């Protein structure tokens, strides 16, 4: 199937439509809530939580014996929250640092989950096949009820987001100030974290434990480069996320042997790379251009300053001097001279240059910050 065929089929084929819709909604909710994770410096919390959810899935299966994905997700939510709570406890109450706490929870919970999964595999009731899909995710197993659940959760979190918009925003940027204003910071904090955990758990079935953190981070990190407004960032992140979901699904559906999760992550990574380089405000390309412009400007002014230091010793400041005498000064090039002439700061006559009145005044006030300069 080519990509073109995919787009023709996506509106008619049930499976494709479900999967595409699912990954799009997932991308959107992850981008939305991921923005908070990124801005709160909790980027890797997502990684830890997604791993920590694994034993919950196994325990839910062991207790109920069913593979109903909603039940398993509740288990995942439970153990994800336990993991989050433990991480917070460790950071607050012991001298272990955030990174150690995250790595510890991530690996220990995952190891315990693996123990349970292998234990389940050896059990006599052969109903267990399919639990591995939570490891790497299988978008192909999405059914309409899963997508419906995603849409409902997205709607709820959007509602909560709008309801507590002011609180979320203020907590994000100044936690202490929020507390002094009398907001219940603990409650807001728990609310945000809860929804981040919820988004992660929802994505496990589609992109899996390992790649879930990128799903959360990448759209938000890309969106961050284009705007300084929180609302705009969340909107952009949701769009980037949804777009990565759709494009990733399209690419993986059009090729054999390509699982959806990694492709979505790579598409999102390309978004990030593109944003890093080409975003006008913060991007590396424009930053480099601005940097070079500033440097050239500085060199220009250095040359002007040098000319000024020569000219000020003469009664007639426009007295012509030979270009030659600039030679031991490094800032000068043919290009700079031409630029200076364009700015009407100097005049060039053959092998001689002379400062104009305008150039003399500019040079005089070059380091004088009080005077407005052009």
Partner 1 sequence: MTEPQIEIQLIAAVVAIACAIPGVFLVLRKMALISDAISHSILPGIVIGFFITHDLNSPLLIILAAITGILTVVLVEAIQSTGLVKEDTAIGLVFPALFSVGVILIAKNANDVHLDVDAVLLGELAFAPFDRLLIDGIDFGPKSLWVMGVVLLISLILLFLFFKELKVSTFDAGLSSALGISPIIMHYGLMSVSSITIVGAFDAVGAILVVALMIAPAATAYLLTEDLKKMLGLSVLFGVVAAILGYWFAHLLDASISGSMTTVLGIIFLLTYLFAPRKGLISVLYRQRQQRTEVSLITFLLHLNNHQEKEERHINHLQEHINWQRVRSKTVVDLAERNNMITVENGVVSLTEKGLEFTELALEYIITNRDEKIEHMKDDFFLFRG
| Interface with partner 1 (CB under 8 A) | 38, 41-44, 46-47, 51, 89-90, 93-97, 99-100, 102-104, 106-119, 122, 132, 135-136, 210-211, 213-214, 217-218, 221, 224-225, 257-259, 261-263, 265-266, 269, 272, 276, 282, 284
What are the C-alpha distances in Å from 343 to residues 72, 297, 338, 340, 359? 71, 12, 9, 5, 8
Smallest CA-to-CA distance from 183 within 156, 211, 164 is with 164
Distance CA 38, CA 65 (A): 37
List alpha helices for the chain, DSSP H: 3-9, 14-39, 45-64, 69-93, 98-121, 133-136, 144-163, 165-173, 175-180, 185-224, 230-254, 260-278, 284-311, 334-342, 357-364
Nearer to partner 1, 135 or 310 (CB): 135
Read off φ and ψ for residue 349, nearest 5 degrees.
-125, 105
Q: Which C-beta is closer to partner 1: that of 246 or that of 311?
A: 246
DSSP states along 288-322: HHHHHHHHHHHHHHHHHHHHHHHHTTSSSTT--EE
Given a contact cutoff of 8 angstroms between Cβ atoms, the answer to whether 254 and 6 are in contact is yes
Task: Assess contact for 32 and 241: CB atoms under 8 A.
Answer: yes
Instruction: Give min distance, CB of 76 to partner 1, in A.
Output: 17
Q: Please, which residue, 263 or 346, has the CB nearer to partner 1? A: 263
Query: How far apart, in whole angstroms, are the C-alpha atoms of residue 353 and residue 311?
Result: 10
Give least dist CB 42 to partner 1, A. Answer: 8
Q: How far is the CB of 199 from partner 1 (least distance, A)?
A: 15
Comparison of 202 and 311: residue with beta carbon closer to partner 1 = 202
Minimum CB separation from partner 1 for residue 187, in Å?
Answer: 22
Smallest distance from the beta carbon of 105 to partner 1, in angstroms? 9
Looking at beta carbons only, is 148 or 287 nearer to partner 1? 287
Buried b (16+ CB within 10 A) or exposed e, 140-158: bebeeebbebbeebbeebe
DSSP structure string for 155-205: HHHHHHHHHTHHHHHHHHH-HHHHHHTT--HHHHHHHHHHHHHHHHHHHHH
Least distance in Å: CB of 276 to partner 1? 6
Q: Choose among 274, 268, 272, 236: nearest CA to 251.
A: 268
Residue 256 CB, nearest approach to partner 1 (Å):
9
Minimal distance, residue 348 CB to partner 1, in Å: 41
Cβ closer to partner 1: 81 or 221? 221
CB-based contact 269:214 (threshold 8 Å):
yes
The least CB distance from residue 361 to partner 1, in Å, is 38
Minimum CB separation of residue 319 from partner 1 in Å reads 48
Residues 6+ away with beta carbon under 8 Å from 68:
none
Q: Output 41 or 334, the one with its CB closest to partner 1.
A: 41
CB contact at 8 A, 263 and 215: no
Residue with Cβ nearer partner 1 (147 or 215): 215
The count of C-alpha atoms lying within 13 angstroms of the C-alpha of 331, restricted to the half-sphere facing its C-beta, is 15
> 46 vs 320, which CB is nearer to partner 1?
46
Nearer to partner 1, 170 or 266 (CB): 266
Q: How far apart are the first and last CA of the chain?
A: 60
């Amino acid at each position: 199937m080519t990509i073109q065929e995919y787009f023709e089929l996506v509106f008619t084929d049930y499976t494709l439509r479900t999967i595409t819709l699912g990954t799009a909604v997932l991308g959107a909710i992850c981008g939305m809530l991921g923005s908070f994770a990124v801005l709160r410096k909790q980027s890797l919390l997502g990684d830890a939580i997604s791993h920590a959810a694994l034993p919950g899935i196994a325990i839910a299966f062991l207790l109920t014996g069913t593979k109903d994905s909603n039940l398993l997700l509740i288990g995942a939510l439970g153990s994800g929250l336990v993991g989050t709570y433990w991480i917070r406890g460790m950071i607050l109450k012991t001298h272990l640092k955030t990174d150690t706490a995250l790595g510890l929870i991530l690996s220990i919970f995952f190891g315990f989950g693996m123990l349970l999964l292998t234990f389940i595999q050896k059990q006599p009731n052969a109903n267990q096949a399919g639990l591995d899909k939570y490891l790497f995710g299988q978008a192909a197993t999405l059914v309409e009820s899963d997508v419906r659940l995603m849409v409902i959760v997205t709607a709820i979190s959007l509602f909560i987001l709008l309801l507590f918009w002011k609180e979320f925003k203020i907590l994000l940027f100044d936690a202490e100030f929020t507390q002094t204003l009398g907001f219940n910071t603990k409650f807001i904090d728990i609310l945000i974290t809860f929804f981040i955990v919820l988004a992660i758990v929802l994505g496990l079935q589609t992109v899996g434990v390992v790649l879930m953190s990128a799903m959360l981070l990448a759209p938000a990190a890309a969106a961050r480069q284009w705007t300084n407004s929180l609302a705009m960032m969340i909107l952009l992140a949701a769009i980037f996320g949804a777009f990565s979901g759709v494009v990733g699904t399209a690419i993986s559906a059009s090729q054999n042997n390509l699982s959806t999760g990694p492709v979505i992550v790579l598409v999102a990574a390309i978004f990030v790379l593109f944003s890093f380089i080409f975003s006008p405000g913060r991007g590396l390309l424009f930053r480099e251009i601005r940097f070079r412009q500033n440097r050239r400007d500085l060199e220009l002014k250095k040359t002007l300053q040098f000319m000024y230091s020569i000219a000020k010793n003469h009664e007639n400041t426009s007295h012509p001097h030979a270009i030659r005498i600039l030679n031991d000064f490094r800032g000068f090039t043919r290009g700079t001279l031409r630029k200076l002439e364009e700015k009407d700061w100097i005049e060039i006559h053959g092998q001689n240059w002379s400062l104009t009145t305008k150039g003399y005044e500019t040079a005089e006030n070059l380091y004088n910050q009080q005077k407005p300069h052009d």
